[in-house]
Amino acid sequence: MKLIGLFRTAQQLCSRDPNTRKKGRYLLAAKVHGIDLNGVSLEQLGLDPARSRDYSDSGPDLEQVLQSLDISASDAALDLGCGKGGAMITMAKYFPRVDGVEISPQLAQTARNNLRRAHLLHSDVYCADATEFTDLDRYTVLYMFNPFTEPVVAHALANLRESLERRPRPMRLIYRNPVCDAAVTAAGFRRAATLKIGTQPVHIYDRQWIDSRRPVPAATDAEAKAEASAGQDDGAG
């Protein structure tokens, strides 16, 4: 398997496509530093295919997405379904704080080893089910590379909604290969932009959460008249 991986890397380094060569250099540098980013199937991990997806590294392609964002010194990012931590290593170049959540103990430990070898000593990898992870209040950016099926995505975003009600704040979600887009928009996120990594779309969603416990201010007389007028116009045949 290692020889096959090396052969693929050599092929990428010799490719005519600059993005493929870039990925080859990235993988070669990872191998030199002992960082394991090889893909793993659900069968190998013993995970439930009704809830999880195979692990595949995000690679250096994520950089073009991160470069398009306005990132501040107060932002903190969380990779939901972080696998072996490849995306975290890339994100750490841009965010002051990057943590990950991974249900597989095997992948979580590999991610910790990879982060240590990449000299990222201030990132945490939580070995937890994303539906049960609720310590979300510090984060302003979430990243997912199609790690879950729709029920898990919906539950994880319900946890995020509760966090945003506790601590209203701007929130962005970066979702590569957004198979469960409907669950994200149903949770109240607005798609702000779409980029592409190869043939895969990357949706960037945002939301300025409004605390639902706060009373909605009453409309002024002028606003009420404007709404009434608009309603009459809408009803006209």
- List the chain domain ranges: 47-208
Using a cut of 0.85, tell me whether the model's pTM lies above it.
Answer: no
Q: Which residue has the higher pLDDT, 167 or 34?
A: 167
Q: How far apart are CA 128 and CA 149, in angstroms?
A: 16
Q: Give the list of residues 6+ apart from residue 21 with CB closer than 8 angstroms, or none.
A: 12, 13, 14, 15
Confidence of residue 232 (pLDDT cuts 50, 70, 90): very low
Residue 140 has pLDDT above 60, yes or no: yes
Q: What is the pLDDT of residue 39?
A: 86
Residues 64-87, mean pLDDT to the nearest whole number: 95
Residues 161-177, mean pLDDT to the nearest whole number: 95
**Least-confidence region, from 8-22, 26-40, 52-66:** 8-22
Q: What is the pLDDT of residue 82?
A: 96
Q: Which CATH class is domain 47-208?
A: alpha beta
Q: What is the pLDDT of residue 221?
A: 46
Confidence of residue 234 (pLDDT cuts 50, 70, 90): very low
The full 3-state SS of the chain, as one line of letters, equals: CHHHHHHHHHHHHCCCCHHHHHHHHHHHHHHHCCCCCCCECHHHHCCCCCCECCECCCCCCHHHHHCCCCCCCCCEEEEECCCCCHHHHHHCCCCCEEEEEECCHHHHHHHHHHHHHCCCCCCCEEECCCCCCCCCCCCCEEEEECCECHHHHHHHHHHHHHHHHHCCCEEEEEEECCCCHHHHHHCCCEEEEEEEECCEEEEEEEEECCCCCCCCCCCCHHHHHHHHHHHHHHHCC
Query: For all residues of the chain together, what is the average pLDDT?
Result: 83
Q: What is the pLDDT of residue 88?
A: 96
Confidence of residue 227 (pLDDT cuts 50, 70, 90): very low
Residues 50-65, mean pLDDT to the nearest whole number: 86
Q: How far apart are CA 20 and CA 28, in angstroms?
A: 12
Q: What is the pLDDT of residue 211?
A: 45
